[in-house]
Amino acid sequence: MLENILLDDVAQRKLSVFNQLLGSTNGTYSIHYFEQFTDFSYARLNSLFSEIHDDLKEKQGLELLNDQGKVHIDVSKLRDIPYSQFLFRKSLPYKFLLATILENNYTIEDFCRDHFISRASVIRRLQPLINYLKDFDIQLNCSKLQLTGKENLIRIVYLNFFWIASYGEDLFLALDETKRGFDLFDEADHQWMTYTEPREWYLLTTISQLRIQKKHVIIEPPFKQLAFPTVNISFIKKLKKLNLPQEFIERESTFLSFMMFYWNIYFYADDPRIVYVKEYMNSEQQPLGDLIERFEEFYLPLFSEKKLSNDERELLNTNIFTTCLNHSVLEDSLPLTINFMETCIKEQNPLYTPLSEKVRAFLKEIILKPEFIWIKNCLEDLVYICSFLLLPFYERSNPKYQLNVGIILSPNAIFLQSLFDFLEQISFLTVSFVSSTSEEDYDFYIATSKLLIPDRIIHNGNFQVIPLSPALDYQVGLIDTLHKQYTAKSFSLAD
């Protein structure tokens, strides 16, 4: 989805071809070879590869085309290149967004002059971004390069786009910020960043400071008695030096604390920030009533095959709580980065659809309660995000859909054990050690040599050989292969 907002047609084609390269085997290929995988003509492919070659040379010093004009693929090197980010940062809508927050007294005429483009072309290429912003009642004044609407949502939009495209680097470079990581924050704030990236939060404080300088401040916080510690002391001191009224300083401080403790999805039960979220979740001040208890009653029976641990249950409840809490503010859709992944998640996870149908039915029943009528306006958003949160446990609790993987035993036990431990962490797999003479059937086999694989398995082709070399980066390719096998199995069972 983000590609549709930021990239023009040519850039989207380049990204599509580049992704095709990532799925290819190492080697050297003629451009004609790729005609079978795309709808592009030879002339179009030739042009695209030439541009990709120039991009990779600029970005990484890597040459994609050899002297004969053939495509040389080294997947391990290509995988290290964040090509989508490179294209995002080159895109006109992204540069326009940067200008709206960095520039002062800057008009579309100035932007057109600086980027050698006509006003009509700018407006045309900004249209997908304009339409996206309208979904959240944010207006983009192209003539004056101004964003107007709910200030908290505007800052979140900035955060999403600048973080995904450059991890905030373009903003830091423009402001001559040389520090990175923990050095960006007071020592007292380091304790809250065990499982989060400091520069993401510094990006948010930077966005807030730039917006305040443009006379845009946060509205009254929607929640009362939120639980969180005092954070961002240095930022508060900066605001005092700007002679900002105390009530505005308190709003800004609360917004940053809310974003740090209540906005993102938690992945670890021992995240130090969770203590405060749970405190608020269990208080009488939180506005969701018994929604989380009702949610728990709904999802626990779905995981009867493999029950949740206490940490898993508390983590899941925390994420469902913050998700619903955030949506209850506007009683509408929110600009979330996870929404950019929606199509991918739905297409690559066969169990998403049946799970989402259960979640939707539950929420539709909940909507009948007067205190939860607000869910109606953001029903599909909550169905998607809550299904995403529940999906790993749902996959784990549906063994018939899981991919049964047999690791064929060999003398190198240390390597095999590390492989087993790695695969066992993947929710859609069931992993076992198996001898080469075993009569048991598995969906997929892994071996350290083809000599260990029985003829019947070789004939079926459902195996992968991983050579005994700890230096080889086999994980990424293996996960991709296993997920394709899992998807094929799950869709065949669902039909």
Q: What is the dihedral of CA 172, 173, 177, 180, to 10 degrees?
A: 60
**Which structure tokens are listed for 359?**
């979640």
For residue 443, the 8-state DSSP code is: S
Contact 17, 49 (CB under 8 A): yes
**Which structure tokens are listed for 99?**
């200008």
315-344 burial: b if 16+ Cβ within 10 Å, else e: bbbbbbbbbbbbbbbbeeebbbebbbebee
Beta strands at 429-434 and 444-447: parallel, antiparallel or unpaired: unpaired
The pTM of this model reads 0.84
Can you give the pLDDT at residue 471?
43
Can you give the pLDDT at residue 131?
96
- How far out from the chain centre does Cα 133 lie? 19
Instruction: Tell me which residues of the chain have a pLDDT lower than 50.
Output: 470-471
What pairs with residue 432 in β-bridges? 406
Least Cα distance to 321 among 297, 287, 355 occurs for 287
Contact 125, 160 (CB under 8 A): no
Q: What is the pLDDT of residues 239-283, one digit of tens each?
A: 888 888 888 998 998 998 899 999 989 999 999 999 999 999 999
Which CATH code is given to the segment(s) 403-494?
Answer: 3.40.50
Least Cα distance to 356 among 383, 381, 390 occurs for 383
Can you give the pLDDT at residue 181?
67
Can you give the pLDDT at residue 35?
85
**Which structure tokens are listed for 440?**
């048991």
Question: For residue 267, with 0-12 CB atoms within 10 Å meaning exposed, 13-18 middle and 19 or more buried, which class applies?
Answer: exposed
Determine the Cα–Cα distance for residues 420 and 431; give it in Å rounded to an integer: 7
Can you give the pLDDT at residue 222?
66
Can you give the pLDDT at residue 24?
84
Least Cα distance to 143 among 116, 117, 119, 118 occurs for 119
User: Three-state DSSP class for 404?
Assistant: strand
Determine the Cα–Cα distance for residues 69 and 46; give it in Å rounded to an integer: 9
For residue 12, the 8-state DSSP code is: H
Can you give the pLDDT at residue 412?
65
Hey, how many other C-beta atoms are within 10 angstroms of the C-beta on 205? 19
Domain spans of the chain? 2-82, 89-263, 287-396, 403-494
